Amino acid sequence: MKILVAVKRVIDYNVQVRVKEDGSGVVTDNVKMSSNPPDDNAIEEAVKFKEAGKATEIIAITVGEEKSQETVRKALAVGADRGILIKTEGTVEPLAVAKSLKKIVDREKPDLVLMGKQAIDDDCNQTGQMLSALLNWPQATFASKIEIKDKILEVTREVDEGLEMIEVNLPAVITCDLRLNEPRYASLPNIMKAKKKPLEILTASDLGVDTAPRVQQIKVEEPPKRKAGIKVASVAELVSKLKNEAKVI
Amino acid sequence: MDYDVVIVGGGPSGLSTAIKLKQLDPELNVCLLEKASEIGAHILSGNVFETRALDELFPNWKELNAPVKTKVSKEKFLFLSKTKSISWPTWLLPSVQQNHKNYIISLANLCRWLAKQAEALGVEIFPGFPASEILYNEDGSVKGVATQDMGIDKEGNKKDSFEPGIDLNGKVTVFAEGCRGHLGKELIKKFNLDKGKDPQQYGIGFKEIWEVRDNNHEEGMVMHTAGWPLDNNTYGGSFIYHAENKQVFLGYVIGLDYKNPYLSPFDEFQRFKTHPAIKKVIEGGKRISYGARALIEGGIQSLPKMSMPGALLVGCDAGTLNMPKIKGSHTAMKSGMIAAETIFEKFKENKELSIYEDKFKKSWVYEELHAARNVKPSFSWGLILGIIFTGLDQILFRGKLPLTLKHKHADHETLNSANEMPKIEYPKPDGVITFDKTSSVYLTGTNHTDNQPVHLKLKDPNLPINYTLEKFDEPAQRYCPAGVYEVRVESNINKFVINSQNCIHCKTCDIKEPSQNIVWVTPEGGGGPKYGNT
């Protein structure tokens, strides 16, 4: 089984994101970037399949600027066999990413596409679903457990009500939840080896994909500051405040 | 794995060592380890930068687009009293404190740029891999370092994700960890490198970056202050640098030889910002970064021997900062470049690493540090006498007085008992100009994976409550700039709590703890702050 894993370079989850003064976006200059955390789970799962003898090849792919190579290299360091960067400039929306991935799927013919359930920068949670529609493949989103049964996958999904078990036929698109596994560390020797693994660089226009944004972003603003809490003296005062000031009861 | 040279630390000294080595011999195998998640993420510095070492390393740094852009255009020096300020004419400052040829930079960004140059020259850089241990050959010489094991839980058991550390052997290992490097400390002790030297002196430096209003911003302006809020007997001062993009780098440095255990360096810094002369610069602006780091103040008297069998110490891992200049980046870089030349000669001509000492003595770094040597110790007589002496020493005699003042005590020995010292009441933070530690640490982006061993080790776990609390009111609660240490009362029993995930790797606890009971060791790789343009 051949697995394609899509990864994204995002602002590190520990960094306090700052809105640009002119409201045109968020500050990314000299900000620590990392791979999107649920994408790490996707790579980990693929590597586990390979270690268990169930996958033959893992291709890590990303769509983004030149520097996104780092994220592919990280995937190579934890066990992907080769990498692809589809180079783009500026904001790329989920639909453009899904279309780019489709082109690569058409070429590489993987049996399974894995990716994180959403990216922590735009929180869109759309790319996997769009790709599955474009390919007309089954999808399983928010996977917290994946079992391979011949040509069928048994997937446990994290849903609002609890867990949902579904079966999907291969080929399929699966988006991964953080509960799926514990991503491994890239070891130093593997980071070195990853530098020598093949990484193909294409541009979106090579693939004939139009990445122009379909959504116009008008303004980015910080959420309003939360007001400090107060202490109330009695239950009666609390009830009165909830009723009259907060108007929630 | 075997390398020609293994370098520990990706700051200005380590990166300059790596670059110079590859410039001298492109065939050398050089690797550089950095504990931060990326180069620059643990770098925090003022920084008014003197380009002397960079000019030598990359004469074409301007063409190479080094992030060294904002030339100093105006200078001020203020003495502060509680509400007033007196401006000291800059022509009456010692020439070492004049900055008109220097640049206001972000040292973190300069390091990122240096790392890019180093990688282009073929240096293998590994961020996220702390060197946790020194490896020795049978003859006692340094063999290399081992990286930290990853994936160990709180109790020391291997997690599923366990990844063992790797031995990196170098024909020469260069330690460039910065001030109070935990391996450097071990080497100094093992090889007796500080024999006959004065005890090292340290300071703690704070930095905030503010985005200020247009009309408060004067790009290229450099201002320093002395005086309030510190008393006459506490060594320290501030810097206010107007950088590009309407940013002001605002900071405070306090000597760690302070005596009152109730002193809180963090709160002194916060209080300092309420002075009318400072408040007017940042009022209406927004604080966007915070950080703190210990720095070296001991100068030449405390500078250990920098060579030993198999290894060299460079930059502030040894202590090359020039205190009266308030600059250490150019000297750190130069010390690394001299290390590279030494190693090159060792490989080519089979020379001993000990030739480093002589080369260093003949360099301009030594000359600078020698001329600067009496400034810091003279301030042990208090601010006023210190200034008078420094005026004579630096302006009249240009550092050539035929005497060398000594540093008498190590910083952990200087605290007086709490009951002999006045308590200090600090004003509550207003959330606009002044802040608490929690909201400050949040800005550093610091984090350490939850389930890992505490990297701040207590030699005696009972000492903080049984001795330090009673005698010094446990000063760790105050000297730590990140709120790592707390004394909590739980069912009427005092408990010493270490919130190690907050640690911003400043090393102050390792330095100032009166019994040297706290030992800073490396946490799992990639932990610690994620500084931006600090």
Bigger pLDDT: B472 vs B395: B472
Q: List the domain range (segments joined by +) for residue A124.
A: 2-222
Q: Does A79 reach chain B within 8 Å, measured CB to CB? A: no
Confidence label for B380 from pLDDT (cuts 50, 70 and 90): confident
Is A235 within the bounds of a domain?
Answer: no
Is B443 within the bounds of a domain?
Answer: no
pLDDT greater than 80 at residue B90: no
d(CA B405, CA B198): 10
Tell me which chain A residues have a C-beta less than 8 angstroms from the C-beta of B446: 14
**What number is the average pLDDT over the span B54-75?**
97
Q: Domain count of chain B?
A: 1
The CATH number for B41's domain is 3.50.50.60
Tell me which chain A residues have a C-beta less than 8 angstroms from the C-beta of B163: 184-185, 187
Query: Residue A202 to residues A57, A75, B31, B123, B162: CA-CA distances in angstroms?
Result: 20, 18, 31, 27, 35
Contacts of residue A178, defined as CB under 8 A and 6 or more positions apart, other chains included, come to A37, A38, A41
Q: Of B189, B186, B179, B188, which Cα lies nearest the Cα of B133?
A: B186
Name every residue in B having a CB less than 8 A away from some CB of A. Answer: 1, 37-38, 40-41, 106, 108-109, 112, 124, 126, 129, 147, 150-151, 159-161, 163, 166, 211, 288, 442-443, 445-447, 525, 530, 532-533
CB contact under 8 A, A192 and B40: no
Decide: B48 and B71 in contact? Cβ < 8 Å: no
Backbone φ and ψ of B507, nearest 5°: 75, 5
CB contact under 8 A, B161 and A188: no
Confidence label for B147 from pLDDT (cuts 50, 70 and 90): very high
CB contact under 8 A, B532 and A30: yes
CB contact under 8 A, A184 and B443: no
- Matching residue, tokens 């609660």: B477
Confidence label for B161 from pLDDT (cuts 50, 70 and 90): confident
Is B485 within the bounds of a domain?
Answer: no
CB contact under 8 A, B161 and A184: yes
What is the pLDDT at residue B97? 78
Q: What tokens were used for A51?
A: 């270690």
Is A230 within the bounds of a domain?
Answer: no
d(CA A16, CA A12): 9
pLDDT greater than 80 at residue B453: yes
d(CA A155, CA A168): 8
What percent of chain B has a predicted confidence (pLDDT) above 70?
100
Is B212 within the bounds of a domain?
Answer: no
Bigger pLDDT: B234 vs B480: B480
d(CA A158, CA A177): 7
**What number is the average pLDDT over the span B24-44?**
97
Is A52 within the bounds of a domain?
Answer: yes
Decide: B225 and B205 in contact? Cβ < 8 Å: no
Tell me which chain B residues have a C-beta less than 8 angstroms from the C-beta of A29: 533
d(CA A240, CA A247): 9
What is the pLDDT at residue B386? 84
CB contact under 8 A, A32 and B108: no
Confidence label for B513 from pLDDT (cuts 50, 70 and 90): very high
3-state secondary structure of B376: helix
What is the pLDDT at residue B105? 97
Q: List the domain range (segments joined by +) for residue B368.
A: 2-62+108-197+304-372
Is B152 within the bounds of a domain?
Answer: yes
Tell me which chain A residues have a C-beta less than 8 angstroms from the C-beta of B211: 21
Decide: B36 and B128 in contact? Cβ < 8 Å: yes
Alpha-carbon distance B367 to nearest alpha carbon in chain A (angstroms): 35
Alpha-carbon distance B40 to nearest alpha carbon in chain A (angstroms): 9
d(CA B35, CA B448): 12
Is A237 within the bounds of a domain?
Answer: no
Radius of gyration of chain B measured on its C-alpha atoms: 22
pLDDT greater than 90 at residue B254: yes
What is the pLDDT at residue B275? 96
Decide: B31 and B147 in contact? Cβ < 8 Å: no
Q: What tokens were used for A2?
A: 């051949």
In this complex, the residue of B150, B161, B166 whose CB is nearest that of residue A189 is B166
Is B244 within the bounds of a domain?
Answer: no
ipTM: 0.87
The CATH number for A210's domain is 3.40.50.620
* Average pLDDT over chain B, rounded to an integer: 95
Is A244 within the bounds of a domain?
Answer: no
Asked if residue A171 has a cis previous peptide bond (ω within 30° of 0), the answer is: yes
Listed as ranges, residues in chain A with pLDDT below 70 are none
Among all residues of chain B, which has the CA nearest to that of A19?
B288
Q: Does A31 reach chain B within 8 Å, measured CB to CB? A: yes
Is B216 within the bounds of a domain?
Answer: no
User: Which of the residues A33, A69, A185 would you substitute to probe the B interface, choosing the one with the greatest number of B C-beta atoms within 10 Å?
Assistant: A185
Q: Domain count of chain A?
A: 1
Decide: A5 and A75 in contact? Cβ < 8 Å: yes
What is the pLDDT at residue B297? 95
E strands, A95-223, are 112-116, 139-149, 152-159, 162-169, 172-176, 199-203
Alpha-carbon distance B97 to nearest alpha carbon in chain A (angstroms): 30
What is the pLDDT at residue B199? 96
Alpha-carbon distance A95 to nearest alpha carbon in chain B (angstroms): 31
The conformational region for residue B55 under phi > 0 = left, psi -120 to 50 = alpha, else beta, is alpha
